[in-house]
Amino acid sequence: MGPQAHAPAPSRQTVLVRTAASPARESGSVPVWIPLAIVLAGAVWVWRTTESEARSRTGAWVDLTRSAFFRECPGALPQWSEDLRGALAKQGRVRADDRGALEGLCSMIEQLPFVAEVGSARFIWPDGLDISLRLHQPIACVHRGSKYYPVAMITDDKNVRGVLLPGAANVPHRVGSDDEAYFLPMLAGFDDGGADAPQVGGELQGGAVLAALDIAHSLHAHLDGSKRTRLGRILIDATSEMAFDGLPGGARLELEAVGDKAHGRLIHFGRAPCEAGPGELPVEIKWKHVSQALERGFDAVDVRFDEPEYHK
């Protein structure tokens, strides 16, 4: 793995407050902590576990059943911390100087569907073991059965790829800070009824849902938290190849969406960035038009052209 394959963390804060009591130090024992620094978009998750029975200073047994979650990353769902805690607890304990065991621990963590990449385990004597993780970042959700599941984009220079993440909810997920919390956009075109329908951890299939995911990715890149909040619940529908006026590119954003139905404003978006051909307006200008429309107010707006067109 290349150096710092994780998202950059401008101010890498490590929260060191314990939320679970650790055993009192006994004569001849050495307390060992494991901060699991989970890095995503400049934030840090920190986990710590205490060692229960250190046999000597040259070999410490770390009790993985005693873990505590300290700080969330933006976009990380509460279920993920529980899943990680449970996965660690199943391992029981690990010897801090057993490189093979530590590599196995990292490999196990990397199998969790919300984990994108795991760094190597680094023992820090006498304070603990540091493992940096890069998590998938939810940028949208899909309606699967009676629940909503988060979805992340997989980095791929050639194709748009998406992965279905754990964290089922009764309503679309809200992520972000309290004052700028926003709903993850829902993606139309997700087929959960077929034999090939993806399970949690599997990749999304179908051009329409991947085009909608690409639009969601561009939304996340070009609109700040306050603008995303003002969009409210939205459905991104790229299932139509043609727009309402007969031109190619029928993707649209339906605001005030509930379930897979829209009850409010409409944004005619045109082709997704991955499908854009000659003459397509650059995606950053489309989102600039959307920002202007949010400030102005609208019933329906067409952002496919140099000047946005407003409709009743």
* Under 8 Å between Cβ of 241 and 229: no
**Shortest CA distance to 207 belongs to which of 222, 191, 186, 194?**
191
Write down the pLDDT at residue 133.
79
**CA dist., res. 260 & res. 53, Å (int):** 54
100's enclosing H/E stretch is helix 99-110
Write down the pLDDT at residue 195.
60
Q: What is the mean pLDDT of each run of 10 residues along the chain (312 residues)?
A: 29 22 29 38 37 44 67 73 87 84 90 88 65 86 92 83 94 85 92 73 90 96 92 94 92 78 82 90 97 94 96 82
Write down the pLDDT at residue 301.
96
Write down the pLDDT at residue 81.
84
φ and ψ at residue 167, rounded to 5 degrees: 120, 45
What pTM value is reported for the model? 0.77
Q: Is the dihedral of CA 199, 204, 206, 211 positive or negative?
A: positive
3-state secondary structure of 300: strand
**CA dist., res. 301 & res. 79, Å (int):** 38
Write down the pLDDT at residue 12.
26
